[in-house]
Structure 1
Amino acid sequence: MQIQHLRKITAIGGGHGLGRLMSTLAFLRHRLIGVVATTDNGGATGLLRQAHQCIAWGDIRNCMSQLANQPLAADVLNFRFQEGSTLQGHNLGNLLLYTLDELSARPIDGIQLLSRLLKVDSRVLPMSESPTDLVAATQENFDCHGEISIDDLPNMPVRLQLSPQVQATPEALRHILRSDVIIIGPGSFMTSIMPPLLVGEITRAIVESPAKVIFIDNLIPELGPAGRVALPQRLQWMRQQLGVELIDLIISNQEYPQLSVPVIGGVEAEEGTPHRHQRASLLDALERATALLRCGAA
């Protein structure tokens, strides 16, 4: 079965990676949703969160900027106020999403309004509509707070969790349970991929869903502790954190004979940007992946 014939696909992650994946699959329109990490505490997003105790808007903005079908939409959403301005360091897209949230009953109402204005056909949903932070235990105590600090760790933490624990966005759970395929990644392993999976309801919904789960590996090692660990060890660490095996197939240019699931490679990078998946090549890999999973289920 080809991707365009699938009824529903859920993409899970954050940062630039999820936006790249969603823009690659944008032809699916309303059949595609992204479940976005909302734990970022750095940069413009961190400034806004410190002042207003809101969810992290940066990864949501990033996805929308790559999906928008309006001229200059990406430039407007990603515009950053420069030094000397009273809004120094802030990002216009984050401020716009925060404002729409303040005017709406729920965060997803504001996201949906902006999606209509920008002609974004796929749904972008936060993993939760409540603010939360990523916290890591390096020994016995949870002593490393926030994504910025976690990315600076010398080694993978013993444990990762959300503080406080939050409920999943209900619409995201419904879509996951009805999906044919769920795609996790690419992106920063601990700060983009793990946060949505640490929302217990999301991981339980993935397990309960009939969907096959595809994991997309990064093209080059990321900065931080996860980039210094091979994929099999990262996936084993994920299993230990979540208490369940989620992955049915992996897209990666590296060969890992010890893995018990199929691995599909041959994904090219965007010219001049070695960490960014080339859209046509990524789509081809996803087509091969869904065909293989279909054959395995037959």
Structure 2
Amino acid sequence: MIGGGTGLPVVLHGLRKKNADITAVVTVADDGGSSGVIRDYINVVPPGDIRNVLVALSDIPQIYKDIFQYRFDTKDQFFSGHAIGNLIIAALSEMNGDDIFSAVQKLSQMMRIDGKVYPAASVPLALNAEFSDGTCLSGEAEITAAEKNIKKVWVTSNDGSKPEARPEVIKAIMEADQIVLGPGSLFTSILPNLMIENVGRVVCETQAEVVYICNIMTQKGETEKFTDADHVRVLNNHLGDNFVDTVLVNTEEVPQDYMDYQKYNEILDQVKYDFAGLREQNCRVISDNFLKLRDHGVFHNGKKVVEELIRLTGRPNSWVVDRYN
């Protein structure tokens, strides 16, 4: 899977239960929260999304996962807001000469990961955006906070080098039976991976089926008023090719007044269904009730999504999961 954010680990956890052969390619353009602070201080690849994916695929006892995920209380000042796992990933990266790829592979062994976890790039990447009014901004958090219509995004590296994925990432994509994008923030979790030139190129070239799990809700500062077809159109336009083969779309209505918009303040409205728009882009459309309601929030039903992905591949023990924030 390729992506980042909170949606990716949910699907990965479900896939692990089905004994799928998983490779997760995880975004390294996050600059918010604990990941952003650590990134600014020691110039390491932001660890938050990697941490969540490692936990989703780990076979260690739950108590160890809870420790790895523990976030220090705001009263702790020095460690305030930092997850222990983020600090461990940063430390291992430094111990390995700032080689985040090797650090994640060693940590994968320690955590008994069922599958492979690959950072999309080995250096921190900055996400850049041009808005419909012609202005530009750099930084994931700043882009989202601007609350403007995004025209396009691209990534740059802090050290001036050309953003590039390691050969292991490219090999995994090319050898996959199925490539899965999402669920996750379109512009800040999924596209940052695809904007790495060699990643975007091989995703278009691969013979594997490319499946996009469309978001259920629109997101403030990113996808306001988007239909499912708009999501796919943005992906295709950024890579200059109708590369998305299949789209999983939720058609179940979110109950009125269920969402807690103060708690989930980045969420707006339910994504509208546009079957004709999807078909125009040569997509196979799979629509179903993929909705899960929890804690007054709206999520994908990981179990149903995983069942559909496995049904699509026809070979439940061989594939790659690619893209989440």
Q: Specify if TM > 0.5.
A: yes
Distance apart, 1:237 and its partner CA: 2.2
CA distance in 2, matches of 1:143, 1:215: 27
SS at match of 1:86: helix
Instruction: Compare relative contact order (CA 8 Å, sep 6+) and give the higher one, 1 or 2.
Output: 2
Q: Which residue of 2 aligns with 1:264?
A: 286
SS at match of 2:218: coil
TM-score, length of structure 2 as denominator length: 0.80
**1:20 correspondence with 2:10:** yes
Unpaired runs of 5+ residues, structure 1, are 1-10, 292-298
CA distance in 2, matches of 1:139, 1:155: 8
Distance apart, 1:65 and its partner CA: 1.7
TM-score, length of structure 1 as denominator length: 0.87
The 5 Å alignment of 1:96-107 reads 96-105=88-97, 106-107=99-100
Distance apart, 1:19 and its partner CA: 1.1
Distance apart, 1:280 and its partner CA: 2.1
Q: Which residue of 2 aligns with 1:163?
A: 156
CA distance in 1, matches of 2:233, 2:58: 36
**1:194 correspondence with 2:191:** yes
CA distance in 2, matches of 1:289, 1:256: 22
CA distance in 2, matches of 1:70, 1:90: 22
**1:108 correspondence with 2:101:** yes
Identity %: 27
Q: Residues 108-164 of structure 1, C-alpha deviation per residue, up to 9 Å, x if partnerless? A: 221112112211111111110011110111258663111111112333322211123
CA distance in 2, matches of 1:240, 1:230: 15
1:290 to 298, 313, 316: 313
Q: Residues 172-227 of structure 1, C-alpha deviation per residue, up to 9 Å, x if partnerless? A: 10010111110000011111111000001001111221101000012333343314
Q: Which residue of 2 aligns with 1:178?
A: 175
Q: Residues 215-271 of structure 1, C-alpha deviation per residue, up to 9 Å, x if partnerless? A: 001233334331431121222222222212210010011442211212112243345
1:225 to 206, 222, 225: 222
Cα 1:180–1:36, aligned 2, differ >3 Å: closer, same or farther? same
Cα 1:30–1:124, aligned 2, differ >3 Å: closer, same or farther? farther
CA distance in 2, matches of 1:267, 1:73: 34
SS at match of 1:116: helix
Q: What is the number of residues matched between the two proteins? A: 281
Amino acid at match of 2:285: V
1:212 to 206, 209, 212: 209
2:301 to 278, 281, 298: 278
Distance apart, 1:28 and its partner CA: 6.1
Cα 1:142–1:62, aligned 2, differ >3 Å: closer, same or farther? farther
Q: Which residue of 1 aligns with 2:124?
A: 131
CA distance in 1, matches of 2:165, 2:184: 21
Amino acid at match of 1:110: A
Q: Residues 12-58 of structure 1, C-alpha deviation per residue, up to 9 Å, x if partnerless? A: 10011111121111146682101101111110001101101111111
Cα 1:181–1:34, aligned 2, differ >3 Å: closer, same or farther? same
CA distance in 1, matches of 2:65, 2:313: 30
Cα 1:225–1:269, aligned 2, differ >3 Å: closer, same or farther? same
CA distance in 1, matches of 2:20, 2:233: 33
CA distance in 2, matches of 1:278, 1:253: 10
CA distance in 2, matches of 1:74, 1:47: 22
SS at match of 1:183: strand
Deviates more, 1:116-125 or 1:233-242: 233-242
Q: Which residue of 2 aligns with 1:77?
A: 68
SS at match of 1:151: helix
Deviates more, 1:105-114 or 1:121-130: 105-114
